[in-house]
Amino acid sequence: MSHCKTEIQYRTSNKLVDTVNKLIVWGVGTTRTLRVHWMLHELEIEYETRAIGPRTGETQTEEFKSLNPKQKIPALIDGDLVVTESAAIMRHLRRICDRLPYDQYQQSVAGLAEYDEWLSFMLMELDATSLYVVRRHGDLSGIYGEAENAVTSSIAYFERMLNSVVDRVADKEFIWGTTFSELDIHMAILLDWGGYVGAGIPDRLSDYHDRMKSRPAYKTASELNFSA
Ligand SMILES: N[C@@H](CCC(=O)N[C@@H](CS)C(=O)NCC(=O)O)C(=O)O
């Protein structure tokens, strides 16, 4: 994989330099870590992986706690900078590497408002308040407790929210503007995850979902993320 060095404008202490740090990603094995590995592969950035997994105790070592006191993966180390939260890490990677250029709409006020709307919607409505509730009281019920009603109603909520945006995704090449972006990564992984927990995924999203999953970066990153 080549590095983004030649295309990069990397900001350190207000100075633009043309070199980048060797990036290190902590974390594998979850949908949230997959987001970051997928983006790195789309950008063709070389990086190292510290293959720690969730609920293995590996997020509670002194070394990792000093990097991320939240004790959560993924975390990205970029020189002196530690970036946590998968969405923030993906945004950071887009800023330090311009291999996926933004189109004119994506840079416009309207485009940025749409970006913020999609990101809030996917992180809050489709992830935190629905699929993650299913995870907590489904696969992780040993830790968070059984709550069958919460699981059932969260799946229904996910389906309702997803159905509300079908027209904005189906038949489109990409969710936002005319180029692939981290919003496609979020959506494709949410569709994977929704399918995994048994939520109904509208047929009209199949083409979009299949196209995203056929991207070489998705395949390579999934292999790395789930086999480690
Ligand atoms: N909002 C965070 C969520 C990160 C998160 O909850 N990570 C879980 C795995 S999906 C974790 O590290 N849990 C700690 C552990 O299981 O040890 C993100 O998107 O990065």
pLDDT tens-digit series, residues 60-105: 999 999 999 999 999 999 999 999 999 999 999 999 988 999 999 9
Residue 200 lies in a domain: yes
Residue 12 lies in a domain: yes
Q: Which two tokens stand for residue 227?
A: 């086999």
Give the relative orientation of helices 216-227 and 206-213 as an angle to the nearest 10 degrees: 70
Same domain, 172 and 124: yes
Q: Are 129 and 154 in contact (CB under 8 A)?
A: yes
Distance from C-alpha of 191 to C-alpha of 205, rounded to nearest angstrom: 9
Which residue, 42, 61, 96, sits at the end of a domain? 96
Same domain, 38 and 90: yes
Confirm or reject: Cβ of 85 under 6 Å from ligand 1.
yes
Is the per-residue pLDDT at 178 higher than 60? yes
For the entire predicted model, the pTM comes to 0.93
Boundaries of domain holding 21:
5-96
Which residue, 36, 63, 96, sits at the end of a domain? 96
Distance from C-alpha of 228 to C-alpha of 222, rounded to nearest angstrom: 10
Confirm or reject: Cβ of 33 under 6 Å from ligand 1.
no
Is the per-residue pLDDT at 56 higher than 90? yes
Same domain, 87 and 109: no
73 Cα to the center of ligand 1, angstroms: 5
Residue 135 lies in a domain: yes
Same domain, 111 and 148: yes
Residue 228 lies in a domain: no
Task: Encode 87-113: b = buried (16+ Cβ within 10 Å), e = exposed.
Answer: bebbebbbebbeeeebeeebeeeebee
Q: Which two tokens stand for residue 86?
A: 């998968």
Confirm or reject: Cβ of 68 under 6 Å from ligand 1.
no
pLDDT-derived band at 228, boundaries 50, 70, 90: low
Same domain, 124 and 209: yes
Distance from C-alpha of 207 to C-alpha of 127, rounded to nearest angstrom: 22
Same domain, 127 and 196: yes
CATH of the domain at 26: 3.40.30.10
Residue 222 lies in a domain: no
Same domain, 118 and 66: no
